[in-house]
């Protein structure tokens, strides 16, 4: 009953950020911006407006004050995420869940594009060597927003990869938000307990599989370099870092090597975060850079917190956890997180009415952040908020379709945790006894209609 879709034909994964941009451009989904753009506010204003419109990738070729090009919105669509891993879209969640347990150790190479340029500790200045992108009005200054922190557990040597916002101070100094229960925070706490710095590397323009591993909810003991290899179907190419005892992605655009200082905190923030509000000033960790390595023509990656790229990366990993949790109870067709990532929509092909409530319980328990779940039938698109609302309006019963859990902890950030207590789930599936009454109408031939031929390009599109 709960078997995944049939295996898809082999598709070549995109194993570098550069390959991802090339793929987008070949499909007409990458816009090049030639005019000068100010990295303070203007760049992210263009990005934000693009995400509300065509939602294509952007490559800024003339960023004021920086010789480096800036790319953003590269992983903003589900089809792109699937292609980046070489997985057919309909197999995405099932294959991610299956491949997670087939770790592939990274492959160490002798030479790497990321080492074409090496800037030592005495010569580097992150306020000069990194584009100074300021995102929103009250931000404390320029931030690295698409930097993946790589570190090894001080005792086990297991690699962790995680997204962490990083405030640029200048010289070799940056401030980074990280704390337990985040795995990197646990690594740092273990190093700090021994009064030692934690060697780390900030990877910018990372291979797509590593981006997803950094956003994942995989177990603490899992090695995320090896999981990234499993997800892309080939070992991740790595090279020894120049100044820290770490392996880093050989094909990355840029790596900032350094260490997180023990027992040192400085004021960081405010910063506009993914819920479209600000995290205020907090005492956070200090990262000291010891080298910057990069491609000769490196492209700097920027992600807008809470934008379509950020939410696509984070939601796919949450959707995979939901898929794993619900699959024992019902055949899961797909999982979506339209709008935000503190809730989800689970589409199931149920054979028993009890499966909907079982799916609701499993989904709300699958991850702490899940405070709102809607279960829908297989004919509803869980990624389309309008379609989901249609299902709620037409198939949900307020008398019998509600699951409410009071007092259960949700999103853990201290300043808003009180608002996120409790969980709610809705059954928006049609009763099986009334299945025929809820068959959706069809419009023969609609898939062949080109509106431009009827309405002209002004209304019908190009």
3-state secondary structure of 189: helix
Question: For the chain, what are the domain ranges?
Answer: 17-302, 327-436
Q: What is the pLDDT of residue 20?
A: 97
Q: What is the pLDDT of residue 345?
A: 97
Inter-CA distances, 85 with 89, 116, 210, 211, Å:
10, 26, 10, 11
Q: What percent of the chain has pLDDT over 70?
A: 97
Q: Is residue 438 a contact partner of residue 395, using CB atoms and an 8 Å limit?
A: yes
For the cut 60, the answer to whether the pLDDT of residue 3 exceeds it is no
Cis? peptide before 236, omega within 30° of 0: no
Which residues are 284's β-sheet partners? 266
387's enclosing H/E stretch is helix 385-395
- Burial (CB < 10 A; 0-12, 13-18, 19+), residue 40, is middle
A 10 A CB-CB count for 237 gives 21
Q: Return the CATH fold of 17-302.
A: Pnp Oxidase; Chain A (2.30.110)
3-state secondary structure of 42: helix
pLDDT band at 460 (very low <50, low <70, confident <90, very high): low
For 190-222, what is each residue's pLDDT tens digit? 999 999 999 999 999 999 999 999 998 888 888
Report DSSP state, residue 40: B
pTM for this predicted structure: 0.91
3-state secondary structure of 33: strand
Q: What is the pLDDT of residue 2?
A: 52
pLDDT band at 322 (very low <50, low <70, confident <90, very high): very high
Q: What is the pLDDT of residue 64?
A: 96
- DSSP output for 211-279: HHHHH----TTS-HHHHHHHHHTSPPEEEE-SSSS-EEETT-SEEEEEEEEEEEEEEE--EE-TTSSEE
- Lowest model confidence (mean pLDDT) among 214-218, 283-287, 361-365: 214-218
Q: What is the pLDDT of residue 6?
A: 47
276 Rama sector, left if φ>0, alpha if ψ -120 to 50, beta otherwise: left
Distance, in Å, from the CA atom of 169 to the CA atom of 176, rounded to the nearest integer, reads: 11
Inter-CA distances, 382 with 351, 352, 447, Å:
19, 20, 20
CATH architecture of 327-436: 3-Layer(aba) Sandwich (3.40)
Q: Is residue 165 a contact partner of residue 177, using CB atoms and an 8 Å limit?
A: yes
Task: Estimate the crossing angle of helix 354-366 against helix 308-326, to 10 degrees.
Answer: 130
Beta strands at 30-33 and 57-60: parallel, antiparallel or unpaired: parallel
3-state secondary structure of 429: coil
3-state secondary structure of 301: strand
Which of the two residues, 171 and 3, has the higher pLDDT score? 171
For 84-120, what is each residue's pLDDT tens digit? 999 999 999 999 999 988 989 999 999 899 999 999 9
pLDDT band at 83 (very low <50, low <70, confident <90, very high): very high
- Written as six digits, the tokens of 373 are 């779940």
Q: Is residue 366 a contact partner of residue 329, using CB atoms and an 8 Å limit?
A: no
> Starting at the edge strand that comes first in sequence, how are the strands of the sheet with 402-405 ordered?
332-336, 343-348, 372-377, 423-428, 402-405
- Read off the pLDDT of each residue in 396-414 and give the average, rounded to a whole number: 87
- Written as six digits, the tokens of 381 are 């698109």
- Lowest model confidence (mean pLDDT) among 212-216, 257-261, 390-394: 212-216
- Written as six digits, the tokens of 88 are 């057919």
372's enclosing H/E stretch is strand 372-377
269 Rama sector, left if φ>0, alpha if ψ -120 to 50, beta otherwise: left
- Read off the pLDDT of each residue in 372-397 and give the average, rounded to a whole number: 96
From the list 182, 187, 236, 190, the residue with the least C-alpha distance to 209 is: 236
The tokens 């916002």 sit on which residue? Answer: 165
């Amino acid at each position: 009953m709960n078997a995944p879709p049939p295996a898809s034909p082999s598709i070549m994964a995109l194993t570098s950020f550069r390959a991802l941009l090339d793929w987008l451009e070949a499909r007409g989904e990458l816009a090049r911006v030639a005019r000068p753009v100010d990295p303070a506010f203007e760049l992210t204003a263009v990005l934000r407006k693009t995400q509300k419109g065509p939602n294509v990738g952007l490559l800024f070729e003339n960023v004021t004050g920086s010789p480096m090009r800036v790319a953003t919105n590269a992983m903003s669509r589900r089809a792109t995420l699937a292609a980046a891993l070489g997985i057919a879209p309909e197999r995405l969640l099932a294959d991610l869940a299956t491949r997670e347990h087939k770790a592939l150790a990274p492959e160490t190479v002798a030479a790497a594009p990321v080492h074409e340029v090496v800037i030592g500790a005495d010569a580097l200045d992150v306020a000069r060597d990194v584009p100074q992108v300021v995102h929103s009005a009250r931000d404390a200054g320029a931030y690295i927003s698409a930097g993946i922190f790589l570190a090894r557990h001080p005792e086990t040597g297991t690699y962790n990869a995680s997204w962490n916002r990083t405030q640029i101070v200048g010289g070799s100094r940056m401030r980074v938000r990280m704390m337990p229960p985040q795995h990197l925070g646990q690594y740092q706490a273990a190093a700090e307990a021994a009064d030692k710095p934690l060697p780390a590397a900030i990877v910018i323009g990372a291979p797509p599989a590593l981006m997803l591993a950094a956003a994942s909810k995989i177990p603490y003991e899992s090695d995320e370099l090896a999981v990234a290899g499993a997800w892309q179907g080939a070992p991740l190419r790595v090279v020894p870092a120049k100044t820290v005892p770490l392996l880093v992605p050989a094909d990355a655009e840029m790596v900032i090597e350094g260490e997180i200082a023990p027992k040192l905190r400085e004021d960081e923030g405010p910063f506009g975060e993914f819920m479209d509000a600000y995290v205020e000033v907090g005492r956070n960790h200090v990262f000291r850079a010891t080298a910057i390595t990069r491609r000769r023509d490196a492209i700097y990656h920027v992600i807008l917190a809470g934008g379509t790229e950020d939410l696509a990366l984070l939601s796919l990993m949450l959707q995979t956890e939901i898929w794993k949790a619900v699959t024992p109870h019902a055949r899961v067709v797909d999982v979506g997180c339209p709008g935000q990532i503190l809730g989800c929509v689970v589409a199931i092909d149920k054979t028993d009415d009890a499966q909907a409530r079982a799916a609701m319980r499993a989904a709300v328990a699958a991850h702490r952040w899940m405070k709102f779940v809607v279960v829908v039938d297989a004919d509803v698109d869980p990624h389309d908020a309008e379609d989901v609302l249609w299902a709620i309006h037409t198939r949900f019963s307020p008398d019998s379709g509600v699951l409410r859990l009071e007092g259960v902890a949700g999103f853990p950030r201290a300043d808003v945790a009180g608002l996120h207590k409790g969980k709610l789930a809705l059954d928006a599936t049609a009763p099986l006894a009334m299945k025929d009454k809820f068959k959706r109408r069809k419009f023969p031939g609609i898939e062949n209609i080109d509106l431009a031929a009827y309405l002209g390009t002004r209304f019908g599109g190009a």
